Amino acid sequence: MAKAPAAKTASKKIPNTPTASKEDLLRFYREMVLIRRFEERAGQLYGMGLIGGFCHLYIGQEAVAVGVQESVRQGHDKIITGYRDHGHMLCAGMDPKEVMAELTGRIGGSSKGKGGSMHMFDTATGFYGGHGIVGAQVALGTGLAFAGRYRGDDSVAFIYFGDGAANQGQVYESFNMAQLWKLPAIYIIENNQYAMGTSIERSSS
């Protein structure tokens, strides 16, 4: 009986692989822990009735925003996402105290307490909001990319959406427009396996 070939021990080098120093890795870890602890506290406050409306937490997805943010030029590029947005705000450089104040409807919040969990924004950091309508941020983000191209400001739009939003027609219309016009847009799908409460196996082929 012939022996199976031995597994290769040396990993093949992948072209254009970014490198990270020990300091970078520690910084990434600190940012992920900040998001996790922030969200844990937000969940507690929501349970106590101190956060009005809805409060969708980013627990379990911290590495996505932290990793992508390394490619974002803060204050120059634009970031837009859906309603699971607190982690993106923190990665974009928004003050955690202002974000928490916004969640609890206080005047010291980044949107003066009027945006709440799903609709705050901060143009100074290039964060153009979380959005409560599923998939709507994809079309809006494509518009941000179009604005950057039109103005010639060399900005890139980073557009996040989830697996549930991937089934929306406007998402594919946005893809088509971005490709036709060669827009500076990067689309990031955050597939957490569930569109709110529906498993991806039940809603997507």
Domain boundaries, the chain: 22-193
In terms of residues, how long is the chain?
A: 205
CA 21 remoteness from chain centre: 24
| Order of strands, sheet of 78-80, starting from the edge strand that comes earlier in the sequence | 78-80, 157-162, 185-190
The three-state secondary structure class of 4 is coil
- For the cut 70, the answer to whether the pLDDT of residue 24 exceeds it is yes
Q: Give me the residue label for tokens 């893809």.
A: 175
Please compute the mean of the pLDDT values over residues 109-130 and round it to a whole number. Answer: 91
What is the average pLDDT value for the chain, to the nearest integer?
Answer: 90
Residues with Cβ within 8 Å of 60's Cβ and at least 6 positions away in sequence, in order, are 192
65 vs 84: CA distance, rounded Å? 11
The model carries a pTM of 0.86
Strands (DSSP E) found in 35-102: 78-80
Integer Cα distance of 142 and 168 in angstroms: 15
Residue whose pair of structure tokens reads 């609709």 in the numeric block = 119
**Terminal Cα-to-Cα distance of the chain (whole angstroms):** 42
C-alpha to C-alpha distances, 167 to 59, 144, 172, nearest whole angstrom: 23, 21, 9
pLDDT tens string 82-119: 999 999 999 999 999 999 999 999 999 989 999 899 89
Indicate if the pLDDT at residue 18 is higher than 80. Answer: no
Fold that domain 22-193 belongs to in CATH: Rossmann fold (3.40.50)
CA atoms of 6 and 148, how far apart (whole Å): 52
The average pLDDT across 155-161 equals 97
Assess whether pLDDT exceeds 80 at residue 12.
no
CA-based nearest residue to 133, from 122, 123, 118, 143 = 118
Determine the residue type at 119. H
Decide if pLDDT at 3 tops 80: no
**In terms of C-beta distances under 8 Å and separation of at least 24 residues, what long-range contacts does 32-38 make, across chains too?**
32/62, 32/63, 32/66, 34/90, 34/96, 35/62, 35/65, 35/66, 35/86, 35/87, 35/90, 35/91, 36/62, 38/86, 38/87, 38/90, 38/96, 38/99, 38/100
Lowest mean pLDDT among 42-56, 98-112, 145-159, 189-203: 189-203
Weakest-pLDDT range from 10-19, 104-113, 130-139: 10-19
